[in-house]
Amino acid sequence: MISSLRSKNSWINGLLINSQFLSGRKWPAVYFVGHISNDMRREKKLKKSELHLLLMTLPGVIYLVINNYLPMFGIVIAFKKINTSKGIFRSEWNGISNFKFLFRSADAWLITRNTLVYNLVFIFLNIFLGVLFAILLNELWSKTFKKLSQTILILPQIVSMVIVSYMVYAFLSSDNGFINNSILISLGKNKISWYSKARYWPFILVFIQAWKSLGYNVLLFLASVVSIDSSLYESAEIDGASRIKQIRYITIPLLKPAMITLGLLMVGRIFYSDFGLFYQVPMDSGPLYPVTQTIDTYVFRGLSNISNLGMAAAAAFYQSIVGFLVIMTCNTVVKKVDAENALF
């Protein structure tokens, strides 16, 4: 690293050479007397500016050490018998028994399955809807309508998942909910107690996720859709291609690289789930756990229940390590496909 810095930054080069001059090993100091004072002044000034730059990074660096690096080392807690009064570093080691408990339970499989399957569905749906609505939005001829619909699509992004869960509750509450009281009754059907029937929730959660993130997903593709050269469409038009055909053979192929890259970046996060969506929206309802429990909700629930804390720590460890490996793998692939958009 240092050698590359040397060659890259000519003034550092200069600095290093200057210090050689000053040490006087290679040339008699007297010979450079005129230069030394100048160089010394310059060197001092550079050092001061480096120090100032370093100072600028200090608050951020300290924060990252506390918020990110300490927990990275704290991850060893998964191999310990957790004692909350002793804290992470003084709790006693107990080998891999936390992991044994976790992976012997049915939970390990359940939370992995839920996290992965929901995320896969979300990724496909998000890309599909993002592309579709970016194209539709670009198609609108009224500028006002275009602007207004973009504003509305992004609206769910500005509210928290807690507020979303209130909205969902207004629809699904079994006593007062809109669906039970207005729709099902007028259809002559019985009320459904939504918050205890697990089979509906995969659809509800997928719908809410799509509803909330649609605006963002459209933004991801909109720039690419807008930037497509209109002469391509014009010549297709002359050849008699319908609008649908133009989208099929011009727009989609041109968006493909963006779709692949974004997809891979999303896959990189496949071991992480939206805690609010899976915990808050189903109102932490027990009967729904089989379809709402993900790694993140499992770890949180372990925190509030001391007997499960060890397993929660093991699950958090498992998420961190596997999640890291997945990100690295995806990034390697992105780098091959589309080097410019790789994370590093």
Q: Contacts with other proteins in 142-201 (CB under 8 A)?
A: 142, 145, 148-171, 173, 175-178, 180-182
59 binds other proteins (CB under 8 A): yes
State in angstroms the smallest separation of the CB of 335 from other proteins. Answer: 13
For 294, phi then psi, to 5°, come to -120, 180
State in angstroms the smallest separation of the CB of 250 from other proteins. Answer: 12
Q: How many CA atoms lie within 13 A of 115 on its CB side?
A: 26
Can you tell me the distance from the alpha carbon of 170 to that of 164, in angstroms, rounded to the nearest whole number?
10
Q: Which of residues 311-330 bind other proteins (CB under 8 A)?
A: 312-313, 316-317, 319-320, 323-324, 327-328
Q: For other proteins, which is the closer residue by CB, 29 or 170?
A: 170
Q: Are 196 and 287 spatial neighbours (Cβ–Cβ below 8 Å)? A: yes
The one among 14, 22, 32, 75 contacting other proteins by CB under 8 A = 75
Name the helix (H) or strand (E) containing 319. Answer: helix 309-337
Q: For other proteins, which is the closer residue by CB, 118 or 317?
A: 317
State in angstroms the smallest separation of the CB of 136 from other proteins. Answer: 4
69 binds other proteins (CB under 8 A): yes
- Give how many residues touch other proteins by CB under 8 A: 120
Can you tell me the distance from the alpha carbon of 9 to that of 325, in angstroms, rounded to the nearest whole number?
34
Q: Are 260 and 251 spatial neighbours (Cβ–Cβ below 8 Å)? A: no
305 binds other proteins (CB under 8 A): no
Burial class of residue 114 in the structure, from the number of CB atoms within 10 Å of its CB (0-12 exposed, 13-18 middle, 19+ buried)? buried
Q: Which stretch binds other proteins (CB under 8 A): 28-36, 103-111, 116-124, 306-314?
A: 306-314
Q: For other proteins, which is the closer residue by CB, 74 or 202?
A: 74
Q: Which of residues 212-271 bind other proteins (CB under 8 A)?
A: 214, 216, 219-220, 223-224, 233, 237, 242-244, 246, 257-258, 261-262, 265
Q: For other proteins, which is the closer residue by CB, 32 or 43?
A: 43
For 132-150, letters b (16+ CB in 10 Å) and e give ebbbebeeeeeeeeeeebb
For 292-319, letters b (16+ CB in 10 Å) and e give bbbbbbbbbebeeeeebbbbbbbbbbbb
SS3 92: strand
Q: Which of residues 91-130 bind other proteins (CB under 8 A)?
A: none
Name the helix (H) or strand (E) containing 258. Answer: helix 252-267
Can you tell me the distance from the alpha carbon of 266 to that of 120, in angstroms, rounded to the nearest whole number?
9
11 binds other proteins (CB under 8 A): yes
Q: Which residues contact 95 (CB under 8 A, 6 or more apart)?
A: 79
Q: For other proteins, which is the closer residue by CB, 257 or 287?
A: 257
Q: Which stretch binds other proteins (CB under 8 A): 19-27, 117-125, 198-206, 274-282?
A: 274-282
Q: Which stretch binds other proteins (CB under 8 A): 19-27, 74-82, 105-113, 192-200?
A: 74-82
Q: Which residues contact 90 (CB under 8 A, 6 or more apart)?
A: 83
The residue count of the chain comes to: 344
29 binds other proteins (CB under 8 A): no
State in angstroms the smallest separation of the CB of 196 from other proteins. Answer: 14
